[in-house]
């Protein structure tokens, strides 16, 4: 395996400075990452996330690492939809 | 803790983890944004040469102006997805493998023998349990 490049260690001050100076979050990229993660789970288990969430989340079948992660990832996805398409936002978009 | 370096690098140092074999810092910004924007932090430490990975996923909520971990899953996994030990807060178990009530329900641990045990819910405690399995 090729050796991967490592970043130099950061001091606490450098880390905080980097976090505090960060630019506007690239939400599109974050959403893309989440969708890719959901897609990977769907391909691995040959199941749509909606089906998984409806029939497995909250049952004893959920009790394995992938399913717990999948469930959390899907909740995140739902939260994005609530944020992006809340009634307030839709009304604001319609009314300008 | 005042002189600690932040982030997963420090996590490794304080827990005597081997250095992860990935560039964590460059992907950390994205992870922080994801936690800030959507309330979930997924982190993965990889040691391909040891055939192991350490998965952390936490979901946060604000309750009474304080940040709480609403839900989490921690797992030390062999490549190929066999969990060595793992812990989570899903309310699937009320009792441990001795049939005793979990001391800190819903937090529980699945040990190396797949038995359900009581667990504090603290990441630091999970790391201390995971360290002997990593080398």
Residue B107 lies in a domain: yes
Packing angle between helix A65-84 and helix B24-38, nearest 10 degrees? Answer: 60
Can you give the residue range of the structural domain that contains A89? 26-95
Residue A13 lies in a domain: no
**How is residue B12 annotated by DSSP?**
H
Residues of A with CB under 8 A from a CB of B: 1, 4-7, 9-12, 15-16, 18-19, 22, 25-27, 29-30, 33-34, 37, 60, 62-66, 68-69, 72-73, 75-76, 79-80, 83
Residues of B in contact with A60 (CB under 8 A): 92
Per-residue pLDDT of chain A (96 residues; tens, 9 = 90+): 445 555 566 777 877 776 677 666 677 888 888 999 999 999 999 999 999 999 999 888 898 889 999 999 999 898 887 777 666 766 776 666
Q: With left for phi above 0 and alpha for psi between -120 and 50, is residue B7 left, alpha or beta?
A: left
Residue B30 lies in a domain: yes
Tally C-beta pairs within 8 A across A and B. Answer: 90
Distance (Å, rounded) from C-alpha A57 to C-alpha A73?
A: 12
Residue A5 lies in a domain: no
The pLDDT of residue B135 is 74
Residues of B in contact with A19 (CB under 8 A): 32
The pLDDT of residue B1 is 31
The pLDDT of residue B6 is 40
The pLDDT of residue B16 is 62
CB contact under 8 A, A7 and B25: yes
Token pair, residue B78, equals 């062999």
Can you give the residue range of the structural domain that contains B40? 7-134
Number of domains, chain B: 1
Low-confidence ranges of chain B (pLDDT < 70): 1-17, 19-27
Residue B77 lies in a domain: yes
Residue B2 lies in a domain: no
In contact, A23 and B29? CB cutoff 8 Å: no
Residue A69 lies in a domain: yes
Residue B1 lies in a domain: no
Residue B42 contacts A where some CB pair is shorter than 8 Å? yes
The pLDDT of residue B20 is 64
Number of domains, chain A: 1
Q: Which residue of B has its CA nearest to A30?
A: B34
């Amino acid at each position: 395996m090729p050796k991967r490049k490592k970043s130099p260690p950061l001091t606490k001050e450098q880390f905080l400075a980097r976090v505090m100076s960060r630019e506007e979050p690239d939400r599109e990229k974050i959403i893309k990452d989440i969708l890719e993660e959901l897609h990977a789970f769907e391909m691995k288990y040959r199941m749509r996330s909606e089906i998984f969430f409806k029939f497995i989340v909250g049952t004893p079948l959920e009790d394995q690492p992938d399913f717990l992660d999948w469930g959390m990832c899907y909740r995140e996805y739902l939260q994005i939809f609530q944020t992006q398409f809340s009634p307030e936002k839709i009304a604001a978009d319609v009314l300008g | 803790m005042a002189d600690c370096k932040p982030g997963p690098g420090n996590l490794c140092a304080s827990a005597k983890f081997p250095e992860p074999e990935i560039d964590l810092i460059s992907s950390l910004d994205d992870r922080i944004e994801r936690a800030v924007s959507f309330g979930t932090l997924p982190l993965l430490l990889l040691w391909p040469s040891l055939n192991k990975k350490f998965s952390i996923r936490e979901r946060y909520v604000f309750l009474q102006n304080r940040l709480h971990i609403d839900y989490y899953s921690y797992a030390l996994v062999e490549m190929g997805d066999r969990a060595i030990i793992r812990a989570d807060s899903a309310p699937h178990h009320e009792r441990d493998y001795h049939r005793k009530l979990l001391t800190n329900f819903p937090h529980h641990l699945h040990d190396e023998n797949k038995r359900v045990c009581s667990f504090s819910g603290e990441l630091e405690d999970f790391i201390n349990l995971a360290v002997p399995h990593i080398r």
